[in-house]
Amino acid sequence: MKKPVLLAVDDDPQVLNAIERDLRQEFRRDYRVLRAASGEEALATLQELQQRDEPLALVLADQRMPGLQGVELLEQTRQLFPDAKRVLLTAYADTEAAIRAINQARLDYYLMKPWDPPQELLYPTLHDLLTAWQVSYKPRFQGVRLIGFQWSPLSHELKDFLAGYLVAYQWLDFETNPDAQLLLVRSGYTAADLPVVIFEDNTALANPTRTDIAGRLGLAQTASQDLYDVVVIGAGPAGLASAVYGASEGLRTLVIERQAPGGQAGTSSRIENYLGFPTGLSGSELAHRAWMQAIRLGAEILAPQEVTELCVQDGYKALTLSNGSEIRTRAVVMTTGVSYRTLEVPGIHELTGAGVYYGAARTEARTCEQQDVYIVGGGNSAGQAAMYLATYARRVFILIRGESLAASMSAYLIEQLNQTPNVEILPYSQVVGVRGQDHLEEVVLNNNGTEEVRPARALFIFIGAKPSTEWVCKTVVCDHKGYLLTGRDLVTDPRYAEAWKHNREPYLLETCVPGVFAAGDSRAGAMARVASAVGEGSMAIKFVHQYLDE
């Protein structure tokens, strides 16, 4: 963060040197002192500061300068920096003109030459003015700024992407935030270009893709090696565990993640049943601890990148990415996880990302303040989302088809929900429609055959999951639901008996393709818990070693 600027202006070199020296001596700790030898030079400096969006605290300008005089300069300063303090430096003979300028041009003060000693005649006045300026000064946010429309699905997607990588960013709603409109003009774009991402160096991208932003944030987009020992596809808890153990044991390890680290667990507001964290931790915190641990140990991570094809070539595995590049590896660990199933009711597709969200959508929680929100689903993810949203929303309604949550949610979460006064469970209920113009306004509920229309600010959907394996089921055997089959399931189930065609039995987490393993939620028979996924991801590396040693 650059320090606020103090600008000294005088056409007399000796006076300018003296005022600059005194300002630096007293204020250099908290301010940056700049100088200008004329009114025109000072105006150019002010315009440059405005373009760079740098803060200006005070201008101290001499009155008698050729060309642009002090009062005229300070009047233009007010137009460029309305909050900056403006002080006129004048001789005794010009005091009457200075007083008139204070009244007419609304200057903050005038100072007499000479000001020696500055401890008595300069510093007290400037300290008072700067203290008053600091009261109203709001430092410019240092980081990524995202300008968009609240109800834009693409804006929502970018917010989730930045939050998923724990990037500090500022959201600016173009319709309600005057700063957003000013920043957009300075960036050279218009409302038609939204959303616009402005980076810390003030460069901007309009309608960017996640890959565009990732490149600017320093996330790797291309592999650094021609051949890896193991490639992990997916950076959820299972994938990150594989990366940590693979890298720590000396394997050339690459992780490819198509969205954000943590998978579904990464969106959880609070995980309270994970071993070793008695007070719980957020899913994003757990994911980023593991992410940094994997990198520290030597793993390489590509994100966001998506694998679209897996094939075997001469014993090696060739992975094709969505950008057309190819990566070769000796072994693969599939940890692709699952994605939420979509709710098929009238109006849902038009409002997805504009009040209707799949998963926790933590980036939208603050916009639900003092509003009613609805959650569809009765699993742990739904319960954790309800507890988080209850901090902001007026009321949180959980819609479940059955009588209670006991069969689908952990007991500790049910107890927390029962103790939260603004959370209400609606049994035997389901959403049969959603309504709204450009965003969600109403939900249509069916409760035991009775339809009811209710106002709603947001609808969060957790109605089960499907494995993210569509792209690989032609190469690797999956069950009828799309989950990856591994280990003994390949040889004991007669439906898949022909899938394994090798002399040895498959390793516990090995798919029908030797050297391709599966772990976590996308594996058939896996338990949908973070601890289980971490365990399977770690175990997979043991079997990778056994396969590579064959």
**Strand, helix or coil for residue 202:** coil
What is the reported pLDDT for 161? 92
What is the reported pLDDT for 94? 63
pLDDT digits (tens, 9 = 90+) for 383-416: 999 999 999 999 999 999 999 999 899 999 999 9
DSSP 473-514: TTTS-B-TTSPBP-TTHHHHSGGGTTT--SSSPPPTTB-SST
| Distance from C-alpha of 540 to C-alpha of 519, rounded to nearest angstrom | 7
Cα–Cα nearest to 44, from 1, 9, 83: 9
Token pair, residue 490, equals 């390949």
CB 517 within 8 A of CB 490: no
What is the reported pLDDT for 443? 96
| Distance from C-alpha of 268 to C-alpha of 266, rounded to nearest angstrom | 6
What is the reported pLDDT for 432? 96
Per-residue pLDDT of the chain (550 residues; tens, 9 = 90+): 678 999 999 999 999 999 999 999 999 999 999 999 999 999 999 999 988 888 999 999 998 888 888 888 988 998 899 889 999 888 765 667 667 666 666 788 888 888 889 999 899 999 999 998 998 887 777 789 999 999 999 999 999 999 888 888 999 999 998 889 888 988 899 999 999 999 988 899 999 999 999 999 999 989 999 999 999 999 999 999 999 999 999 999 999 999 989 988 888 878 888 889 888 888 888 999 999 999 999 999 999 999 999 999 888 999 999 999 999 999 999 999 998 899 999 999 999 999 999 987 788 888 898 899 999 999 998 999 999 999 999 999 999 999 999 989 999 999 999 999 999 999 999 999 999 999 999 999 999 889 999 999 999 999 988 999 999 999 999 999 999 999 998 988 788 778 888 889 999 999 999 999 999 999 999 998 899 999 999 999 999 999 999 8
| Distance from C-alpha of 287 to C-alpha of 272, rounded to nearest angstrom | 15
CB 149 within 8 A of CB 194: yes
| Distance from C-alpha of 412 to C-alpha of 466, rounded to nearest angstrom | 26
CATH architecture type of domain 5-136: 3-Layer(aba) Sandwich (3.40)
Hey, which CATH number is domain 144-217, 3.30.1490.20, 3.30.530.20, 3.40.30.10, 3.20.20.70? Answer: 3.40.30.10
What is the reported pLDDT for 314? 85
| Distance from C-alpha of 541 to C-alpha of 538, rounded to nearest angstrom | 6
CB 180 within 8 A of CB 147: yes
What is the reported pLDDT for 299? 97
Q: Do domains 5-136 and 228-260+294-339+466-548 have the same CATH topology?
A: no
Domain ranges of the chain: 5-136, 144-217, 228-260+294-339+466-548, 348-462
- What beta strand segments (E) does 248-389 contain? 253-256, 300-302, 307-313, 316-321, 326-334, 338-340, 356-358, 372-376
**Strand, helix or coil for residue 286:** helix
Q: What is the CATH number of domain 348-462?
A: 3.50.50.60
CB 168 within 8 A of CB 183: no
What is the reported pLDDT for 331? 98
Helix (H) or strand (E) holding 105: none
CATH architecture type of domain 228-260+294-339+466-548: 3-Layer(bba) Sandwich (3.50)
Token pair, residue 488, equals 């003994």
Residue labelled with tokens 């950076």: 235
Determine how many CB atoms are found less than 10 A away from the CB of residue 9. 28
